[in-house]
Structure 1
């Protein structure tokens, strides 16, 4: 697991349309350190997400290239992805179990590469 820049204790609430709380947990929204992905390359991170709770991953690039986001479970199965033709990607999912998930940042473009900021919630 990567170290975070900051640790912030807060409560994340997942509510139904009627306002009742389904799940509540503490979370750390601190971003990973700034990253760089080379042309046609990828960078890999690992994060533990708790089963039954909403997991969110946000990828914000410097818009010098098209970057994409892929999430795999600890068995190597693709869980979700965001592959727009843009430099901003976002995914969310509810893991069936607590485990380590693989986060892949992929650059599909320009030879000068792209800087990015990755945040998990």
Structure 2
């Protein structure tokens, strides 16, 4: 019975979340802000959607602007997060294993014939 209650509760939370998103969408949030709330899921996202549902279009404008700025920063952050582990071996000794993509950097000391994926060229 507990599983059924949990499942029914989850279904109801999803229905409530959908209703809160529809209500919020009429108030003028940006698509990025809506995506962020949707990404938070029916638990946390529903709380934020419910809070913002009483907002006016004018009060949502600053949030839309901030969400846009977050979106613009997320792409360079993602690229940096992907590149930094591969750049480690270029400036200082690399850890034993960084990632599949960066193993050449860590393994050149063991085997000069390591497959090239990133890092400094072998000597």
TM-score (norm. length: structure 2)? 0.21
Of the two structures, which has the highest relative contact order with CA contacts closer than 8 Å and spacing of 6 or more?
1
Task: Select the structure that is richer in strand.
Answer: 1
Decide which structure has the larger Cα Rg and report it.
Answer: 2
Task: Select the structure that is richer in helix.
Answer: 2
